[in-house]
Chain A
Amino acid sequence: MPTNTPSMESTRPKIILITIYLCFVFILAKLFYWQIIKGQELRDKAISQIYKVEKIIPQQGHILSSDEFPLSLDYSYYTLAFYKPNFTKNLKEIMTEIGTIKPEFATQNAKALDKFNNPNQKWMEFITQFNLDQMLKLSKLAGLDFTLKQNRYYPEKKLASNLILNLERYYRRQISGQIGFTRTIIDGTGENLLTKKNWQKSEIDGQNIHTSLDRKIQLLSENVLKNGIEKYQADAASLIIIKPQSGEIIAMASLEASPSALITKIPNISDLFEPGSIFKPLIMSSALDSKSISSDYICQKCNQARTIGQYTINNWNNEFHPDSTLRDIIKNSDNIGMSYIINELGLNKFLDYFHRLKLDQKTGVELSGESISPLKNAWPEIDLATAAFGQGLAINQLQMIQAFNAIANNGQLVKVHLNHQSQTETSQVFNPETMALMRQILSYAVNNSPIASLKPKDMEVCAKSGTAQVAVKGEYTDSNTIGSYIGFYPCVNPKFTMIVTVNNPRSSQWGSSTAAPLWFELAQNLELLL
């Protein structure tokens, strides 16, 4: 009978012991794997089985016009999704029930339903929109899952559409509010456990944005611009109307013959232009205000063109006006006279007033995409002379009207704004006496120029026309111009300040023949509406 050798007897307990140790190590490794490595994942999974988290979608704020009319609204609807594994009826029966509530469902989703017939396709979402009642009736069917969605709706269609979309982008945080959450403890079937404490973070609804936009005037403005583009065969036309005392923007429109693909672009603030002769009243105001010239200034060198180096400054019609007074210089839109006035003003004072009129900085209007041009460092004599009639510097339309409005507002510069609730910011740029004189000059210029025929006799307007050549590849051309007209009505305690620009009009290049008629057409209507 075989017997175990002593060496075998001593190794057996060792093997058993090692096996036990290995088992312990294996158990420890397994525990480490599940508790440390996989621990977080399992914890998350367990929590997701215990808790149900649901989003509470807040109500979005709206953009309101000056009469509190909603320029944007929301509408809610439900979309439907099928989940095949949860079906208790066959698809045909389900489709029949949906068809009784939403007959167009099958045709609207023919392609998706075709795809859903594939046995591997377990889930499918459809595009048809359901209202609350329809959702409640259909949600009794197993395997049908509804999702609440919201869409933006614009009651005034395309009216000020780029402005509204831009405002929505600018005020995105205020409008959208904050999403809320509910966390409930659920049982194995997914139903809420009523006896357990649930947690909720309430949603915060978005805020309404109260704008100063007058939708009737906006509509009128857009129609006038549209007709103007056709009538003058222009590439584009823009306008801004503001309340002189508060700086509130009543209307802002920009239409293009071939609309831009950028739907939130606002050319009134994003496109820079050389203001041309509409800049002259600002230079004259600066010269008068700084006492660089007196009110009885007479241009004694206006009888001929002015030569600076290799450049010649001439008038738009090549006519000269000897011994022009300030009134005559504005009435005749005399470039030569203005070049001498800016000479009297000097570069330093010019730059100082340029800064005080905020022409070197953004207006800060509540819109995104405002552009400005940095002011050049070197100012040769010719550049300063051409700046007198608005050439060689680029600003946006809103900067121009904000600065010009100081003349309407007794020398006080008011920050332009769209949000009715924004605080009015003001700064005194010119003294009121100078502005009273400037208003007389502008009124005289309107009444004694061919433009006078465009306005009703009893309408007292302070305005100035301008035609700026557009520099193409570093050279000015006569074929590409921007005609503009800027002014306010009435001259004392004005109701509105308005700027109209017409880009590249082909019927006439002059602002007095294109922008001015549009300005007066609108002004006559505004007189009744404001």
Chain B
Amino acid sequence: MSNRIILAIALGLLAFQLSFSVYYSGRIVADNQKYSELEKKYAQLKFENQNLEIDFANKYAVNGINSP
């Protein structure tokens, strides 16, 4: 009887570990993908912001139009 209980606990733990690993590895991958996308978006916005700043500066410069 006790052997069966120990076996059940061991199998339960195994199942828990497997499901835990599958769940969290999935989340880590998903979060990482999200982070990469956000990082890409941030870089894009940074570029866009720089271009807008340059456009603004060119538009309102008092010493003629210039471009990098």
Interface status of A155 (Cβ within 8 A of chain B): yes
Given the known inter-chain contacts A157-B64, A159-B63, A216-B62, please indicate yes or no for A70 contacting B53, CB distance below 8 A. yes
In the bound complex, do residue B44 and residue A156 qualify as a contact, i.e. CB atoms below 8 Å apart?
Answer: no
CB contact between B57 and one of A70, A76, A194, A216 (< 8 Å): that residue: A70
| Residues A212-229 near B (CB distance < 8 A) | 215-216, 219
Q: Which residues of chain A come closer than 8 Å to B22, judged between CB atoms?
A: none
B57 in contact with A73 (CB, 8 Å) = yes
* Contact digits for A120-158, partner B, Cβ 8 Å, 1 yes 0 no: 000000000001100010000000000000010111111
Q: A73-B50, A75-B50, A155-B54 known; A194 and B32 CB under 8 Å? A: yes
Besides A73-B50, A194-B29, 19 other A-B contacts (C-beta < 8 A) = A69-B57, A70-B57, A74-B50, A75-B51, A75-B54, A76-B46, A136-B40, A153-B54, A153-B68, A155-B54, A155-B57, A157-B61, A157-B63, A157-B64, A158-B63, A159-B62, A192-B32, A194-B32, A216-B62
**Of B53, B63, B68, the contact of A156 (CB 8 Å cutoff):** B63
20 contacts between A and B (CB under 8 A): A69-B57, A69-B60, A75-B50, A75-B68, A132-B44, A151-B68, A153-B54, A155-B57, A155-B66, A156-B62, A156-B66, A157-B61, A157-B64, A158-B63, A194-B28, A194-B32, A195-B28, A215-B62, A216-B62, A219-B62
The residue in chain B whose Cβ has the minimal distance to the Cβ of A59 is B46
Contact (Cβ within 8 A) B28 A76: no
CB atoms of A195 and B25 under 8 A apart: yes
A-B CB contacts (within 8 Å), total count: 53
Complex contacts, B61 vs chain A, CB 8 Å: 155-157
Closest Cβ of chain B to A190, distance in Å, is 15
Are the CB atoms of A73 and B54 closer together than 8 Å?
yes
Known: A132-B44, A194-B28. A73 touches B64 (CB 8 A): no
Q: Which residues in B have their C-beta under 8 angstroms from that of A70?
A: 53, 57
B14 part of interface (Cβ distance < 8 Å): no
Once bound together, how far apart are the Cα atoms of A46 and B28, in whole Å? 26
* B66 closest partner in A (C-beta): A157
* B6-64 interface with A by 8 A CB criterion: 25, 28-29, 32, 40, 43-44, 46-47, 50-51, 53-54, 57-58, 60-64
Interface residues of A (CB under 8 A from B): 59, 69-70, 73-76, 131-132, 136, 151, 153-159, 192, 194-195, 215-216, 219
Chain A contacts for B25, CB-based, 8 A: 195
Which residue of chain A has the shortest Cβ distance to B59 in the bound complex?
A: A155
Residues in A whose Cβ lies below 8 Å from that of B44: 132
- In Å, the complex CA distance between A151 and B44 comes to 17
How far, in angstroms, from A159 to B40 measured CA to CA in the complex?
Answer: 36
The smallest C-beta distance from A317 to any residue of chain B, in angstroms, reads: 42
Question: How far does the alpha carbon of A157 sit from the alpha carbon of B53 in the complex, in Å?
Answer: 15
Once the chains are docked, how many angstroms separate the CA of A336 from the CA of B32?
A: 84
A153 and B58 alpha carbons, distance in the complex (Å): 11
Residues of B near A157 (CB, < 8 A) are 61, 63-64, 66
Q: Given contacts A157-B66, A194-B32, A219-B63, are A131 and B54 in contact (CB under 8 A)?
A: no
A198 to chain B, nearest CB (A): 10
Bound CA–CA A132/B40 (angstroms): 9
CB contacts (< 8 Å) of B53 on chain A: these are: 70, 73
Q: Which residues of B contact A192 (CB under 8 A)?
A: 32
A187 vs B46: C-alpha distance in the bound complex, in angstroms?
30
Q: What is the bound-complex CA distance between A70 and B44, given in angstroms?
A: 21
Residues on B with beta carbons closer than 8 Å to the beta carbon of A151: 68
A159 to B64, CA, bound (A): 10
What separation, in Å, do the CA atoms of A153 and B54 have in the docked complex? 8
Q: When chains A and B are docked, how far (Å) is the Cα of A154 from the Cα of B66?
A: 8
Residue of A nearest to B44 (CB): A132
Rounded to whole angstroms, the CA-CA distance of A69 and B66 in the bound complex is 15
Give Cα A69 to B58, complex, Å: 11
Bound-complex Cα distance A156 to B58 (A): 8
What CA separation (Å) do A215 and B57 show in the bound complex? 13
CA distance A131 to B47 in the complex (A): 8
Contacts of A136 in B (CB 8 A): 40
Contacts of A216 in B (CB 8 A): 62
Which chain B residue shows the least CB distance to A152? B68
A19 to B8: give the CA distance in the assembly, Å.
58
A386 CA to B35 CA, complexed, in Å: 74
A215 to B62, CA, bound (A): 7
In-complex Cβ contact of B50 among A69, A76, A155, A159 (8 A): A76
Residue of B with least CB distance to A62? B53
Complex: chain A residue closest to B57, CB-CB:
A155
Residues of chain B within 8 A of A75, CB atoms compared: 50-51, 54, 68
Q: Within the assembled complex, what's the spacing in Å between the Cα atoms of A74 and B50?
A: 7
A58 to chain B, nearest CB (A): 11
Name the distance in Å between B4's Cβ and chain A's nearest Cβ. Answer: 34
Which residues of B have CB within 8 Å of A73?
A: 50, 53-54, 57
The answer for the CA separation of A132 and B64 in the assembled complex, in Å, is 28
Given A194-B28, A195-B25, A215-B62, residue A132 in contact with residue B54 (CB < 8 A): no
Most buried by A among B46, B54, B63, B64: B63
How many angstroms from the CA of A136 to the CA of B41 in the assembled complex? 12
Min Cβ gap A226→B in Å is 13
- A131: chain B residues within 8 A (beta carbon): 47
Q: How far is the CA of A294 from the CA of B56 in the complex (A)?
A: 58
- Bound-state Cα–Cα, A195 to B26, Å: 11
